[in-house]
Structure 1
C-alpha cells in the first residue's frame, strides 16, 4: 500500500498564506469584540475594523504580486507555489483575482457605512464581519488546486452569502430571497459535489493535476463519465454565476438582499465561481480526447465539446439576460438581468478553444480585464442606487428622474457607469468587450462574437433608460446629499472605469508580463 508523505508548512510558505490568515484572525477577533462590546456602542466601529482587515489582506496580495512582477521583468522564471500537499496554489491567476475580490469586498463594506437604519439592519456587527469569511471563501476558490479545498471555499462563500441576503429585518422580500437562495444554492452545491465524485472515482485523486493526468491516460475507458461529470459541474456552477438557464433565482435574490450585498453577489460571488470554472476547464478538461482525424490533423474531441457547451451557455445567458431586461423597471432586478448577460460575456474567454493556436495568456487577460471593469462599473452603479433610493424611498427606474438637476456630479457618474455597461468607447466596459470579441475571432468562434455584438447593441435600450430619466425627465425637487463613504466609492469607481478605458494597453501589458497560462496554471513549484 502506497503511503502519502505530507510535508509540513515552512515559515516561508506560511507567509504566502498571509492574506487568508489575516481574514481568518480578523473574523475571529472582530466577532469576539462584537460579542463583548456594550450595546450602547455603535457597531459602525465593527465596519471600520472589517474594512481595515480587508485592506491589510489586500496589502499582502499586492506586495506578493509586486515581487513576482519584479522577478518577471528581470527575466526570472516565476512559477506556482503549491502548499498543503499541492491542494493550495499561490500563482498569478489566484493573486490577480484576489485583488478584485478584496477590492470589491472593501467597497461593499464602505458603501454600507451609514446607509442603513438600525431598525432595518439590527445585527449590524454580524453584517460587517460575515463579509470577511465570505471574501475568504472566494480567495480559497481562486487558489484551490484540489477538489476538497475548492468545495470548502465554495461552501464558506455560499453559507455566509445565504445569511447576508436575509439580514434585513421585517422584509418579506429579503426572507423570500434568502430562502430561495439557500434552497437552490444547496441543490447547486449537491450537483457540484456529485460531479466531483465522478472525477474522484475515475482518477482516485482529488488533486486537479492528478485528475487531469489520470483522465488523459484512461480517456477511452471513461469518456461517457467525463461528459457526465462536466455536465453536473457546469449545472451547479452555472447557478453560482447566474448563467442561463440556471438564472431564475437571481432577480428575486438581488431585489430582496440589502443593496451592498447585492453588489457583493454580483461581483465577488460571481467572480469566485467563474474562477473555479476557469481553473477546472484548464486544469482538468483542457486537451482531453486527443486523437488524429482522417486527414491526420490533431483534434481534441472532449475538450472541443466542452468549449462548445460553454459557449452555448454564454450565448443563451447574453440573449436571456438582455431580452428580459428590456421591460424591467426595478433597478436592482434590471442590474440582476444585466448580470446574467455579463456572466455570458465572462464565460466566452473561458469557453474559447485555444488549441491549434498559440497557447498564451490572452484569454485570461481578457477575462480579468472585463471582470475588473464589471466590478468598478457595477459597484459604482449600486452605490448611486443606494443614494437615490434613500431619498426617493424606492428602487424603481423612475427614481432617477431629473437627477442631473438635483445632483449633476452623481448623474454624470451614473452616466459613466451606464456607458461602460453598454460598451461605449473610452470606458473600461468597451475595451473589455473588445478584447473578448477579438479573442473569439482569433479562436475562429466568430458566431459568439456576433452574439456579443448584437446583445450589446440591444442592451443600449434599457441602459439608456437611465440617461432618459436623469436628463430628460422631471423628478422631485431639492438637492441630494451624498454620504462620504458612498461618495468616495462612486468617485473611485468613476476614475477606474475611465482610467481602464483611457489606458487599456498599459493594463494589458502589465498582465502579459505577469501571467501566462503554461507558467501559472500548468507548472509546479520551480
Structure 2
C-alpha cells in the first residue's frame, strides 16, 4: 500500500481509537521513566482524561455518515458508534473505581501497568465494535482478552488472584480456539474474511453439505463467544475470576468486557448467518432455523445464574452469578431477534450504570472490612444511610423493580419475546420465574443493610471518585427508569435504527 493510498483514507473516523492508543502508549512510557517514589495515581487521572477525550471525539462523529476504510476492515456505522458510547462511559466509570482502589497487598508496584493495560483492553473492545473483517475482529478480541488475563492476576502475591488468572487464561484460550475454528470454516466456504463479502457470497449457497458446514461453524462460534459473555453452561470460570480479580477488574469484566462480547456475537451472527438460505424454498435464514438453540442457551443461563446465586455468601461471587443471569436476559433479545439492537443497547446501558454503581459500593465495604462476606453489609443504613439507599436503588434495578432502568430493559426484552411471528412463551415464562428467584438473593442484601445490626458504628468515608461513580449510577438508573424515552429517542435520533448495520 503506497503513501498516497494511505493518506486518502478518512482516518478521522478512527479518532476515538487513536486517542486511546496514544494515551495508553504515553502512560507506558511515563510509567517506565517516572521515579518509583512517584504516586502512579497521576497516570490513572491521565488515562481518565484520555477516555473523556475519546468520548468527546465520538460525540463529534455521531452525525457522520457510514464510512469504511482500510478496504472495509474498519466501519464507522451506527452500531459501532452506539456501542462504543457504552464502552467509553463504562470505561470512564471503571477508571474512577480503579483510582480509589488501595488493596493491602500486591498492587503498588504494578499500579502503572494496571492503567495502561486497562486502556489496551478498552481499545480491543472498541476495535471489535467497528470491525468489518474477521481478522480485525479477532485482533480486537485478543487485545481485550490478553489484557484482561493480566489484569485479573495483577495482584502477583495474592493466591486467589493467581488462581483466577490461571482459570481465565485456560478457559479464554479454549474459547478463542473454538471461535477461530468456526471462523476458519466460514472463511473456507466463502474465500474472504470480509463480513460484507461473506454476506454476499453466502446468499447464493444452497448446497446442503455447505449449509451443514456453516451450521457447524455457527455452533463453534456461538460456543466460543458464550465463554466470553459467561453464559451457561460455559460460565464456570466467571465466579472464581470475579472473586479473585481486583474489584475494578471485576467491574470491568462484568460490564465493559460483557458488552464487547455481545457486540461480537451480534456482529458475527447477523453479518454471516442471517444471509444463509435454508429450508425447502430457501427463504429461511440459517440463523432463524437455529434460533431454538440460542433460546435454550438463554433459558439455561437465566436458570443456572439465578438459582446458584441463592447459595453465595461472597458478594463478588454473588454478583458473578447475577452477571451470568443478566447475560441470559440479553440472550433472550438475541435469540428472538425482536428489537435486538434497541433492547440490547438499552439493557446494556442500564446494566452499566446499576452494576458499576454497585461495585463502587462493594469496593468501599470490602476494603474497609477486609472481607467479601455479605454479612459485612449488615447495618449499613445506620453507618451510612446514603450508601445504603444508593445500593438499594442499584439492587432494585438489577432485580427489575418498576421505576428503575433495569425494569424498562427487562420489559423491552420480555415484550420482544411475544411480538415475533412464533412467540417464545417458554422463554418469557423462564424470564419471569428466574426474575422472581433473583428477588431472594437481591433482597437478602437489602435485609442485611436495613434490618440487621451492625458490628461497628464507625462512619464510612467515601473517596470523591467513588462519589462521582455512585452519583452518576443512581441518577441514570432512576432517570432511565422514569423517563426511558430519553434513551430511546437519543438512540433513534443519532443511530437511526441501525439500518446501516450490513449495508
Question: Which interval holds the TM-score relative to the shorter structure?
Answer: over 0.9
Higher mean C-alpha displacement, 451-460 vs 427-436: 451-460
Q: Give yes or no for contact 2:205–2:277 (8 Å, CA) kept in 1.
A: no
Alignment-derived partner of residue 481 in structure 1: 461
Alignment-derived partner of residue 388 in structure 1: 365
Alignment-derived partner of residue 438 in structure 1: 415
Secondary structure of the residue aligned to 2:5 is coil
2:1 aligned with 1:15: no
Q: Give yes or no for contact 2:274–2:288 (8 Å, CA) kept in 1.
A: no
**Deviation, structure 1 residue 118:** 6.8
2:349 aligned with 1:372: yes
Deviation per CA, 1:411-430, whole angstroms, max 9, x where unpaired?
Answer: 00000000000000110000
2:473 aligned with 1:493: yes
Alignment-derived partner of residue 75 in structure 1: none
- Rounded to whole Å, the distance in 2 between the matches of 1:347 and 1:178 is 26
Secondary structure of the residue aligned to 1:86 is coil
Alignment-derived partner of residue 220 in structure 2: 232
**Deviation, structure 1 residue 300:** 0.8
**Deviation, structure 1 residue 289:** 2.3
- Rounded to whole Å, the distance in 2 between the matches of 1:218 and 1:247 is 34
Q: Give yes or no for contact 2:134–2:194 (8 Å, CA) kept in 1.
A: yes
Q: CA RMSD in A?
A: 1.8
Alignment-derived partner of residue 267 in structure 1: 255
**Deviation, structure 1 residue 311:** 1.5
Q: Give yes or no for contact 2:291–2:335 (8 Å, CA) kept in 1.
A: yes
**Deviation, structure 1 residue 40:** 1.4
**Deviation, structure 1 residue 250:** 0.3
Deviation per CA, 1:410-449, whole angstroms, max 9, x where unpaired?
Answer: 0000000000000001100000000111111101222212
Q: Give yes or no for contact 1:118–1:124 (8 Å, CA) kept in 2.
A: no
Alignment-derived partner of residue 87 in structure 1: 73
User: Structure 1's 419 and 211: CA in aligned 2 closer, same or farther, altered over 3 A?
Assistant: same
- Rounded to whole Å, the distance in 2 between the matches of 1:7 and 1:449 is 55
Q: Give yes or no for contact 2:491–2:497 (8 Å, CA) kept in 1.
A: no
2:158 aligned with 1:162: no
Aligned residues: 498
- Rounded to whole Å, the distance in 2 between the matches of 1:113 and 1:509 is 33
User: Structure 1's 58 and 301: CA in aligned 2 closer, same or farther, altered over 3 A?
Assistant: closer
Alignment-derived partner of residue 346 in structure 1: 330
Alignment-derived partner of residue 334 in structure 1: 318
2:128 aligned with 1:141: yes
**Deviation, structure 1 residue 48:** 0.8
- Rounded to whole Å, the distance in 2 between the matches of 1:278 and 1:194 is 18
- Rounded to whole Å, the distance in 1 between the matches of 2:97 and 2:150 is 19
Higher mean C-alpha displacement, 252-261 vs 207-216: 207-216
**Deviation, structure 1 residue 408:** 0.2
User: Structure 1's 368 and 457: CA in aligned 2 closer, same or farther, altered over 3 A?
Assistant: same
Higher mean C-alpha displacement, 179-188 vs 441-450: 441-450
Deviation per CA, 1:62-116, whole angstroms, max 9, x where unpaired?
Answer: 2211x34xxxxxxxxx4x2111100111011111111111111111111111321
Query: Structure 2: where are the runs of 5+ without partners?
Result: none
Secondary structure of the residue aligned to 1:123 is helix
**Deviation, structure 1 residue 119:** 3.8
Higher mean C-alpha displacement, 344-353 vs 145-154: 344-353
Taking structure 2 as the reference length, what is the TM-score of the superposition?
0.96
- Rounded to whole Å, the distance in 2 between the matches of 1:118 and 1:467 is 28
**Deviation, structure 1 residue 506:** 2.3
Alignment-derived partner of residue 308 in structure 2: 324
Secondary structure of the residue aligned to 2:68 is strand
Secondary structure of the residue aligned to 1:461 is helix
> Which of the numbers 428, 435, 439 marks the counterpart of 1:456?
435
> Which of the numbers 15, 38, 51 marks the counterpart of 1:54?
51
Alignment-derived partner of residue 285 in structure 1: 273
